[in-house]
Structure 1
Amino acid sequence: MGVHKHSVSFTDTAFAFARELVESGEYPNVSAAVSGEMTRARAARAREKVLFEAEVQRSLALPLDIWEPVRTGDTITTDTREHLARRVQAGDRGSA
């Protein structure tokens, strides 16, 4: 059985993040930091997938008369845009 070396290129930002993890003592070296963070990300995606699948199954179990119809003729942000336009017309610029 032969040994195959594998190399991967990272962006400067990704490499800097891995190096920061090593410098903070979270990992012994950059390779371990990359592997560890990839494992964390994979676990997070798996959790999100399980939650999403459960939500889809819950929604599909609802009787059809419980489902709300899909709005047509406008976008999701139409109500918000109208509300903001009314506030601007009224002179309310908010406290941001």
Structure 2
Amino acid sequence: MVRYNVSQTALAPELGMTQSQLSKRVRGAIPFTLDEVATIAALFEVPVGQLFGEGGPGYRTGLRRSALGRETARRRVWKARGVPVR
């Protein structure tokens, strides 16, 4: 969430939960469901594996370059949905 400048308060409603419920999941007190993980990956337009740090050789370098262009588009989508973006 930090990488994309999206707060828990903004992300929680997209997942159908409160900020408190999302906070408990982020801290590990409650596990994420598969549906929640899939939704987060879709919202950030990344493969599910990336949320868990998976990737092959050159993964981070290539991702960093391509992610910069997607981040701008992603921010526009979030703003269009009325999600506050820093």
Identify the structure with bigger relative contact order (alpha carbons < 8 Å, sequence gap 6+).
Answer: 2
TM-score (norm 2): 0.24
TM-score, with length taken from structure 1? 0.22
User: Computing the radius of gyration over CA atoms, which structure comes out larger, 1 or 2?
Assistant: 1
